[in-house]
Each structure stands twice: as C-alpha cells, then as structure tokens.
Structure 1
Amino acid sequence: MLNKLYTPVFVAATFCLLFFSSCNEKTVAKEERKNYELTDSLLPLVKVTDVVMAPQTDAITLTGKVAFNDDNVAKLYPMVSGNVSGIIVVLGDYVHAGQALAIVRSSEIAGYNNDLVSAETNLRIAQINLEKTKDMYKSGLASMPDSLNAAMTYQQAKASLLRTN
C-alpha cells in the first residue's frame, strides 16, 4: 500500500527536479569584437551611399586575361611538312617522351617509305644474286670478276638501306 503512495510522489519529485534544474541561466562567454578602423590613406577611397532596392545579382563580371606559363610549354618543330589529320592529345594533358601527339599526312614521309621499301627490295635481290653467283663460281660457270661484282652490288644495296633508315 505504501508502495502505491510513494510512486506518484516519486514521479512528481523527479519532474519538479528536472523542471527547476533546466531553468538555470547559462552564461556564455561573449567574444569581444574588435572594430575595424580605416586608415587615413584608405578613407578617400571609400564611397558611402544610401541603401536602395535593386534586384539580386547571382554573377559577378570580372575582366582579365588567361595566359599560360611559358616555362611549362615545349615548342615543337616537325622534321617534315604536311597536313595534320588527327590530334591525339589535348591542352593540359601530360605527355611522355616518344608519345605520339598528332597524326601528320605528308608526301615527304610517303617518299621516305617508298625509298625504304625500294632499298629493302634491292638488298634482297642483290643477296640472291650474290648467292647464285657464288654457287656458279664454285661450279666453274662464273668468273671471279662476276663474283666480285655481285659482292660489290650487295654491299652497295646494304649501304643504301642503312642510308634510308
């Protein structure tokens, strides 16, 4: 019976204790604000106007010039002339030595490729002629000058191939 009496008293006492403890005024340390003072040299530059109603602007327009750093730019001078048919890298990409930057279609390169193929073909023909002439010399069907001439032609074809590379 006493337990039934103490329960409402206990709840009321707890409620009062929480209510009165929350009523304390909290003291917050106020930060002292230091006022900004204009110097005499800045005072003539400041313009004070009245407040007026105006639409809110979301953008600021600034004038300026965007430039690149010359120290970080490498100048490219191609070895051949021609038309650029494709660009592989774009401005701002990091590139490494030996990486292709663009595709250039050039008649000079086509001529160099033609010379290379021609020199390789001449070397193969000279090598075959040299082998045949040596075989014929061993069997007695070709003379020594013919064999030397075939060897000289082979050496010239080899030098021509090295020159085109």
Structure 2
Amino acid sequence: GFFYGIPLLLGGLALKAAELEPVTFTQPTTEEIVTLREKQATPIQNQLRKDVTRYRYGQKRHLEESLNLLGLSPTDEEAPILKGLREIDINDNYALVLEFSSPSIPLDTWLQKQDKLSSFFGPNIKAEVNQPAEGKIDLVLITTSEV
C-alpha cells in the first residue's frame, strides 16, 4: 500500500497545483433571465457558462486558448483574466457578460476584434465590448435570434 500511496499523493498535489478556481456570478440571475436563457441561449453560451463556473485543471486562465486564438493574449503577463460573469436581458435578448481584468490589452484592441469575437462565439451571437472602468472589459455575448 505504501508504494501506491506516494504516486497518488504526488499526482493529487500536482492536480491541486494546476487547479483553476471557478469564476463566480457578479449578480444573481433572476427567474426571468433563466427563462430567457432556456429559450434563447446558444449551445456555445451554455458551454461557456458551464466551463467557467467549474473547477478546471491544467489551465492557467479561463478561456486561455480562446483568447490566444483571438489574438487577445500576446503573453501570459498581458493576458486578460476572467474575473466574473453575469446574465442579462438586452432588448428581450439573452446576453452572457464575461467580465475581464484587462490592464494590458486596451479597449481599442478589443473593439478591433469585435466582429471576430461575434463569429468566434457564434452563430447567432453579436459580441459587444464595453469598458466599465479603467483596465476592465465586459465582453457581452448577445443572442441574435431564437435558437
């Protein structure tokens, strides 16, 4: 038993070291929004919400690969960090808002990627980028038609 215990312990410690905490909702999701989500959310919106709100292993940041593919993560130090998310209603359309800390990637860079973000997270998604405060970016993924 002893010889099996050491590798299991080391494996467990390695997983714990590579553990990425879930992102939390920054405001409660109302029943109305849940109903809207159930009717309109795209499979990609649902998968994103589920992926970032659970523990991940072997990744440094949530959406690490996606941000790299979109050219929004030139280096590990400059990469935006997903800090929270919320679900909202925009003109009777379901929207998933991803809240990033992005001190190194300016708003202009995010805005230049807006069309690319829409197609990357699409179909049936319109991406909007907002800057609620200096160094903060909200990526709003809005459904464009009922799914």
Higher relative contact order (CA 8 A, sep 6+): 2
Pair member with larger Rg = 1
The interval holding the TM-score normalised by the smaller chain is: under 0.3
* Larger helix proportion of the pair: 1
* Larger strand proportion of the pair: 2
TM-score where L is the length of structure 1? 0.19
TM-score where L is the length of structure 2? 0.21
